[in-house]
């Protein structure tokens, strides 16, 4: 493993002040492009103002999907591309992307035929409820689009009786349901980071830095600032790619280009810890319409249930959070599907929000705005001697295809050859992944023997990191010990994440390197314990250590609905779970 600490990376940036391509924004689109260009041997710099995948790329509904709903907007190409990319992710990132059986409750036979047809031909953009016939047509088409490379079963319809028996407590007004297959992603933030680490392993000319902001520019010079130290850098790029997602227009302004290409909508989700709801899902995603015909989802997620999302136009992507009104809206829409399951306020263990970087649009409803991706090119002018390519929109699912399309254009611009394809390239812990249960058992037995970890612990690490779990061996030796406040994590594991995985802040660990926050497992004592480990490795003084903790707690309260009082009252996993 080619480990590089931050200072080494900053020294490299200091020495090399000009790159063929500079990518602004380390969400999934920027990261995908960075990996794609590094594969082609291009010297590329990626700068991310916060942590990798801290923006829209951590706020998704965690579906890796074709987008059944987009068929109504006649976006076949998008659906076809998404299904292809979904299948590739199932193969290239099997440690985090898995099939998900999805069931649609249906409340009428023929509703929506007229409304869907109107939307299909572009004569209306009003949402409406969809009956069995419309859904049948959509699912049939979905199956046709995947027929040449089918990796999951075709759709099926379930009678009302079977639906009621399979999904206990589901709204009894339904006439039938339909089940089809898509996929979900467990750790999107980790998958993004693993691509950064893959490039680090393989390329000497590519460089990616989190906590590095594009502040301004003058002529050819881009002014960057390291938010951890305040150090400034002046660098140049032959081409600059603006992959700042919802912040694309604001970032273009920093390069003296006034654009209005983004029309973001905010989406919020809740994580609900409720045994009856979890049991009722029977391991399926329920893909349902609320009363206005908007599609919402709920599915099992780390022993809880993920429910969402809202879709609200916002003027600015800054500091969006799940408001009380959205919270209520999500719970009300959920009650339409499972009317008898009561959700108590304390069942909501986490919430998250983000802004979809959609293209600016004049459609009457947000659901009709295209989820397709596009490239906006601003040629060089009197303010800038370099062109700016903006990566607009897209879905997490399609990041690789989008990155490949932009990279192909950049190769032409740079007069370079395409030398490699990412289509079949495994990512991070998805490399050399066991193909079936017996291979997995052998992998685990061998890992457990070599590392001297119990089979249980080896399996936990495998679930979290895929085959990258092997890298933890060195940190989880016989001097390692479980965390006092979460016995399923160990000191060595947290030290590994901090040392090897570009951790700069406490929130990087809680929100993005682990699933501690989103799984609803955080408690105050655990946060303090992890902060102490971080502080020790970073050599922080008491003042800095306290400030880090206070900053993280304020952020968790404001952005994820986790009040300090709630965190103090939560049980310690050291007490209730044992490895
Ligand atoms: C609510 C919601 C639900 C979604 N659900 C799904 C889903 O289920 N499936 C799916 O496939 N897709 C889904 N998406 C879409 C998908 O998440 C986004 O399209 C994708 O993450 C966009 O990635 P991005 O890299 O363009 O933007 P971002 O992830 O926002 O990345 C942009 C980055 O640029 C950085 N930045 C901004 N300004 C600067 C600067 N000056 N200097 C340096 N860096 C800067 C930001 O900090 C940010 O990290 C969803 C999105 C949302 C919001």
> Which amino acids bring their CB within 6 angstroms of ligand 1?
24-30, 47-50, 54-57, 59-63, 213-214, 243-247, 251, 267, 309, 354-357, 394-397
571 in the same domain as 480: yes
Closest CA relative to residue 102, chosen from 280, 281, 286: 286
Pocket test for ligand 1, best of 188, 240, 356 (most atoms within 8 A of CB): 356
The sign of the torsion formed by the CA atoms of 250, 251, 255, 257 equals: negative
Q: Residue 87: inside a domain, yes or no?
A: no
Q: Are 268 and 308 in contact (CB under 8 A)?
A: yes
Could you read off the pLDDT tens digit of each residue along the chain, which spans 579 residues? 666 689 999 999 999 999 999 999 999 999 999 999 999 999 999 999 999 999 999 999 999 999 888 887 778 899 999 999 999 999 999 999 999 999 999 999 887 665 665 555 555 566 567 788 989 999 999 999 888 888 999 999 999 999 999 999 999 999 999 999 999 999 999 999 999 999 999 999 999 999 999 999 999 999 999 999 999 999 999 999 999 999 999 999 999 999 999 999 999 999 999 999 999 999 999 999 888 788 899 999 999 999 999 999 999 998 899 999 999 999 999 999 999 999 999 999 999 999 999 988 777 677 778 888 999 999 999 999 999 999 999 999 999 999 999 999 999 999 999 999 999 999 999 999 999 999 999 999 999 999 999 999 999 999 999 999 999 999 999 899 999 999 999 999 999 999 999 999 999 999 999 999 999 999 999 999 999 999 999 999 999 999 999 999 999 999 999 999 999 998 877 654 433
Residue nearest to atom 1 of ligand 1 (CA): 267
Q: What is the CATH number of the domain that holds 334?
A: 3.30.9.10
407 in the same domain as 258: yes
275 in the same domain as 251: no
349 in the same domain as 310: yes
User: Is 60 strand, coil or helix?
Assistant: coil
Q: Give the torsion through C-alpha atoms of 409, 410, 413, 417, to 10 deg.
A: -90
Q: Residue 306: inside a domain, yes or no?
A: yes
Residue nearest to atom 41 of ligand 1 (CA): 214
278 in the same domain as 315: yes
**Closest atom of ligand 1 relative to the 354 alpha carbon:** 53
* Rounded (5°) CA angle 560-564-568: 120
Residue-level pLDDT at 112: 66
For residue 129, report the distance from its CA to the centre of ligand 1, in Å.
29
Q: H or E element: which one contains 439?
A: helix 437-451
Residue-level pLDDT at 3: 61
543 in the same domain as 394: no
Closest CA relative to residue 312, chosen from 260, 249, 259, 263: 263
- Give dist(CA 42, CA 20) in Å, integer: 7
For residue 170, report the distance from its CA to the centre of ligand 1, in Å.
33
Total domains present in the chain: 3
550 in the same domain as 502: yes
397 in the same domain as 272: no
Q: Residue 538: inside a domain, yes or no?
A: yes
Q: Checking DSSP bridges between strand 312-313 and strand 304-308, what pairing results, if any?
A: unpaired
For residue 402, report the distance from its CA to the centre of ligand 1, in Å.
13
- Give dist(CA 307, CA 353) in Å, integer: 12
- Give dist(CA 192, CA 194) in Å, integer: 5
Pocket test for ligand 1, best of 60, 67, 68, 75 (most atoms within 8 A of CB): 60
For residue 139, report the distance from its CA to the centre of ligand 1, in Å.
28
380 in the same domain as 344: no
Domain of 310?
265-284+302-356
Q: H or E element: which one contains 313?
A: strand 312-313
Q: Residue 92: inside a domain, yes or no?
A: no
Q: H or E element: which one contains 18?
A: strand 18-24
For residue 56, report the distance from its CA to the centre of ligand 1, in Å.
3
Q: Are 178 and 158 in contact (CB under 8 A)?
A: yes
- Give dist(CA 174, CA 111) in Å, integer: 13
- Give dist(CA 286, CA 464) in Å, integer: 25
**Closest atom of ligand 1 relative to the 52 alpha carbon:** 49
Cross-strand pairs, 288: 296
Q: Residue 209: inside a domain, yes or no?
A: yes
483 in the same domain as 343: no
Q: What is the DSSP string of 2-13?
A: ----HHHHHHHH
- Give dist(CA 193, CA 181) in Å, integer: 27
Q: Residue 559: inside a domain, yes or no?
A: yes
Residue-level pLDDT at 361: 77
For residue 245, report the distance from its CA to the centre of ligand 1, in Å.
5
Q: Are 462 and 469 in contact (CB under 8 A)?
A: yes
Q: Residue 49: inside a domain, yes or no?
A: yes
| 371-377: Cβ within 8 A, 24+ apart | 371/67, 371/70, 371/75, 371/78, 371/395, 372/75, 372/77, 372/78, 373/29, 373/398, 373/402, 375/405, 375/406, 375/409, 376/259, 376/261
Q: Are 284 and 173 in contact (CB under 8 A)?
A: no
- Give dist(CA 55, CA 28) in Å, integer: 9
Strands (E) in 199-284, as ranges, are 207-209, 212-218, 221-226, 232-242, 265-272
**Closest atom of ligand 1 relative to the 29 alpha carbon:** 25
For residue 154, report the distance from its CA to the centre of ligand 1, in Å.
31
313 in the same domain as 377: no
Domain end position, chosen among 330, 356, 382: 356
Pocket test for ligand 1, best of 247, 264, 502 (most atoms within 8 A of CB): 247
Residue nearest to atom 19 of ligand 1 (CA): 395
Residue nearest to atom 50 of ligand 1 (CA): 60
Number of other CB atoms surrounding residue 467 within 10 Å:
19
Residue-level pLDDT at 103: 97
For residue 250, report the distance from its CA to the centre of ligand 1, in Å.
14
Residues 6+ apart with CB under 8 A from 355: 55, 56, 59, 245, 246, 264, 265, 266, 267, 314, 317, 320
399 in the same domain as 325: no
The sign of the torsion formed by the CA atoms of 69, 72, 75, 81 equals: positive
In total, the chain counts a number of residues equal to 579
Q: Residue 140: inside a domain, yes or no?
A: no
Q: What is the CATH number of the domain that holds 398?
A: 3.50.50.60
């Amino acid at each position: 493993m080619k480990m590089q600490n931050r200072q080494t990376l900053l020294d490299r940036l200091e020495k090399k002040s000009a790159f063929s391509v500079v990518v602004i924004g380390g969400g999934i689109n920027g990261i995908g492009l960075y990996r794609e260009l590094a594969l082609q041997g291009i010297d590329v710099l990626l700068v991310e103002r916060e942590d990798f995948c801290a923006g829209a790329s951590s706020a998704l509904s965690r579906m890796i999907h074709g987008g059944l709903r987009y068929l109504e907007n006649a976006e076949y190409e998008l659906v076809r591309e998404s299904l292809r990319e979904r299948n590739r992710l199932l193969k290239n990132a099997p440690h985090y992307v898995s099939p998900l059986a999805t069931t649609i409750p249906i409340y009428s036979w023929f509703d929506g035929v007229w409304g869907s047809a109107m939307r299909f031909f572009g004569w209306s953009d009003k949402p409406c409820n969809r009956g069995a016939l419309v859904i049948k047509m959509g699912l049939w088409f979905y199956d046709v689009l995947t027929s040449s490379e089918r990796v999951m079963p075709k759709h099926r319809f379930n009678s009302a009786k079977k639906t009621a028996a399979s999904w206990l407590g589901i709204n009894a007004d339904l006439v039938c349901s339909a089940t089809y297959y898509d996929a979900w992603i467990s750790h999107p933030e980790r998958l993004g980071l693993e691509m950064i680490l893959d490039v680090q392993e393989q390329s000497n000319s590519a460089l990616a830095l989190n906590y590095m902001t594009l502040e301004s520019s003058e002529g050819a010079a881009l002014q960057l600032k390291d938010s951890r130290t305040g150090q400034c850098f002046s660098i140049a790029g032959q081409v600059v790619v603006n992959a700042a997602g919802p912040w694309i227009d604001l970032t273009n302004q920093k390069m003296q280009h006034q654009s209005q290409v983004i029309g973001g909508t905010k989406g919020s989700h809740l994580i609900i810890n409720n045994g009856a709801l979890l049991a009722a899902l029977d391991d399926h995603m329920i893909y349902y319409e609320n009363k206005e015909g908007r599609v919402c989802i709920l599915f099992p997620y780390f022993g809880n249930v993920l429910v969402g999302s809202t879709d609200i136009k916002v003027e600015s992507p800054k500091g969006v959070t799940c408001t009380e009104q959205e919270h209520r809206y999500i719970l009300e829409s959920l009650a339409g599907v499972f009317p008898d399951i009561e959700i108590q306020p304390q069942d909501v263990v986490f919430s998250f929000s983000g802004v979809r970087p959609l293209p600016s649009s004049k459609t009457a409803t947000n659901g009709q705005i295209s989820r397709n991706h596009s490239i906006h090119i601003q040629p060089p002018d009197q303010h800038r001697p370099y062109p700016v390519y903006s990566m607009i929109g897209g879905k997490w699912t399609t990041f690789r295809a989008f990155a490949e399309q932009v990279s192909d254009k950049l190769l032409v611009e740079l007069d370079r050859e395409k030398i490699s394809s990412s289509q079949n390239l495994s990512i991070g812990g998805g490399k050399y992944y066991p193909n079936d249960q017996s291979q997995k058992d052998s992998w685990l037995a061998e890992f457990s023997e070599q590392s001297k970890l119990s089979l249980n612990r080896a399996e936990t690490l495998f679930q979290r990191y895929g085959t990258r779990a092997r890298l933890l061996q060195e940190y989880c030796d016989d001097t390692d010990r479980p965390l006092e406040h979460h016995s399923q994590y160990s000191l060595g594991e947290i030290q590994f994440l901090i040392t090897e995985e570009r951790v700069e802040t406490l929130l990087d660990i809680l929100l993005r390197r682990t699933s501690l926050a989103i799984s609803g497992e955080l408690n105050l004592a655990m946060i303090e314990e992890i902060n102490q480990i971080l502080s020790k490795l970073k050599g922080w003084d008491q003042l800095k250590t306290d400030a880090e903790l206070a900053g993280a707690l304020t952020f968790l309260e404001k952005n994820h609905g986790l009040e300090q009082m709630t965190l103090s009252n939560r049980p310690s996993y050291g007490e209730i779970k044992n490895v």
